[in-house]
Amino acid sequence: MYTNSNKIKRIALLTSGGDAPGMNAAIRAIVRTGIYNNLEVVGIKNGFSGLLKKDFVEMKSNSVSKIISRGGTILKSARCKEFKLKETREKAFANLREMGIDALIVNGGDGSFRGADLLSKEFGFPVIGIPCTIDNDIYGTDFTIGFDTAINTVIEAVDKIRDTAESHNIIFFVEVMGRDSGFIALYTSIASGAEATLLPEVKTDIKQICSYMEQERRANKTSGIIIVAEGDKEGGATEIARKVKEQLPEYETRVTILGHIQRGGNPSCKDRVLASILGHGAVTALLEGKQGVMVGMAHNRTVYTPLEETYLKHDQIDHNWIEVSKIISL
């Protein structure tokens, strides 16, 4: 068990799970705020995997020069299945102690916070989380870092697809990311005026989609966009399109899977600001003696939420928004 009898002098940070635009801005803010407060800052490469392999790098102010505008993560990220095992986390804790590290900042999504929370609870080690995921599925913050950039990437693509849909009278099924969460699908549906939205949180009824398409045709609409979150329980866009085509063979349909273009790219202004404020907030939280919490932004204020709540409560989509999206796309 770790007893933090001394002041925090040396902190580490890592990025974990899917990369998210703005992770670099968060790294920059953590490093510079740490140095400003006379802390030593250590970067851990490749998420929890790097923690196990002692893949550490000392971070100086110039290590983070000119990265605020860059997508991805200079520390690299990974999914590390073994971190779910207690003996693996024991090794991680031992490595942190061996490197003289007093606290850890984890930049990632709900899965990363599960790992971070276990590390904090099992060893009493000071850990702070920063919400970095394009999925926006974390409780305790209005938005996660990367979401804004990702949804803007999606609507730029959907606007282009719309041109072809209209020119050729095609119904497009556009698949967006979100294995367990429909935030990207719902926001981009509303913003691109999509004719229908399919989400993991709502049961998809193929018959209902078909009758909706018929209704649209009667209203003289000859093209359309249906946004499908990849985690929809009826299947991804390819599967949904196949099922619809079985019922309505006369319709011209196409499928576009946007895939990983949604995770890359230069972060938006909003994501850069959010990442900078939360990165600074994570370091000041540690200096104030906070641990086992995530730093988030609610109503433009920095707030702290126990890590456990961030992944157990998740963030819920507003079901009224689905209705609104339908009404205004009719």
Ligand X SMILES: O=P(O)(O)OC[C@H]1O[C@](O)(CO)[C@@H](O)[C@@H]1O
Residues flagged as binding site: 18, 28-32, 79-80, 109-112, 133-135, 162, 177-179, 193-195, 221-223, 230, 254, 260-263
| Closest alpha carbon to 16 in 86, 76, 81 | 76
Number of residues that bind ligand ATP (CB under 6 A): 19
**What is the Cα 41 distance to its own chain's centre?**
24
Distance CA 192, CA 169 (A): 17
**Contact pick of 72, 109, 178, 292 for Mg ion (by CB under 5 A):** 109
3-state secondary structure of 151: helix
Shortest distance (Å) from residue 169 CB to ligand X: 31
Q: Which of 110, 201, 232, 271 binds Mg ion (CB under 5 A)?
A: 110
Told to check if 146 binds Mg ion by CB under 5 A, we report: no
Catalytic hit among 19, 102, 117, 135? 135
Structural tokens at position 253: 């349909």
Which partner in ligand ATP, Mg ion, ligand X, none is near 16 (CB below 5 to 8 A by kind)? Answer: ligand ATP
Q: Which two tokens stand for residue 290?
A: 């906070």
Subset of 245-304 contacting ligand X (CB under 6 A): 263
Please give the annotated binding residues for substrate, written as ranges. Answer: 133-135, 177-179, 230, 254, 260-263
15, 73, 133, 141: which one contacts ligand X (CB under 6 A)? 133
For residue 242, the minimal CB distance to ligand X (Å) is 21
Q: Which is nearer to ligand ATP, 34 or 115 (CB)?
A: 115
Residue 315 is a binding residue for ligand ATP (CB under 6 A): no
3-state helix, strand, coil in the chain (%, to 5): 45, 20, 35
Taking CB under 6 A as the binding criterion, the range among 133-141, 210-218, 243-251, 274-282 that sits at the site for ligand X is 133-141
Q: In the bound complex, what is the minimum distance in angstroms from residue 317's beta carbon to ligand X?
A: 14
204: helix, strand or coil: coil
| Residue 205 bears catalytic tag | no
Region 38-57 residues binding ligand ATP, contact defined as CB under 6 A: 48
Q: How far apart are CA 100 and CA 142, in angstroms?
A: 35
Q: How far is CA 63 from the centre of its chain?
A: 25
Specify binding-site residues for ADP.
Answer: 28-32, 162, 193-195, 221-223
Q: Which is nearer to ligand X, 26 or 177 (CB)?
A: 177
- Site for ligand X (CB under 6 A): which residue of 178, 182, 267, 281? 178
Region from 77-85, 92-100, 106-114, 219-227 binding Mg ion, contact rule CB under 5 A: 106-114
Torsion 77-78-80-81 (CA) sign: positive
Q: At what angle do helices 147-168 and 269-287 cross, to 10 degrees?
A: 160
Q: What is the spatial order of strands in the sheet that 253-257 belongs to?
A: 196-198, 224-229, 171-176, 253-257
Q: Which helix (H) or strand (E) holds 168?
A: helix 147-168
CB-nearer residue toward ligand ATP: 268 or 329 = 268
The residues near 210 (Cβ < 8 Å, ≥ 6 apart) are: 244, 247, 248
**Eight-state DSSP code of residue 66:** T
- Residue placing its CB nearer to ligand X in the complex, 177 or 277: 177
Q: Should residue 18 be labelled a site residue for ligand X when binding is judged by CB under 6 A?
A: yes
The DSSP secondary-structure symbol of 127 reads E
Nearest to 294 by CA among 111, 138, 170, 97: 138
Q: Whole-number minimum distance, CB 199 to ligand X, in Å? A: 12
Residues classed as catalytic: 135
Task: Give residues in contact with Mg ion (CB under 5 A).
Answer: 109-111
Q: What residue ranges bind ligand ATP (CB under 6 A)?
A: 16-18, 48, 79-81, 83-84, 108-112, 114-115, 118, 133, 135
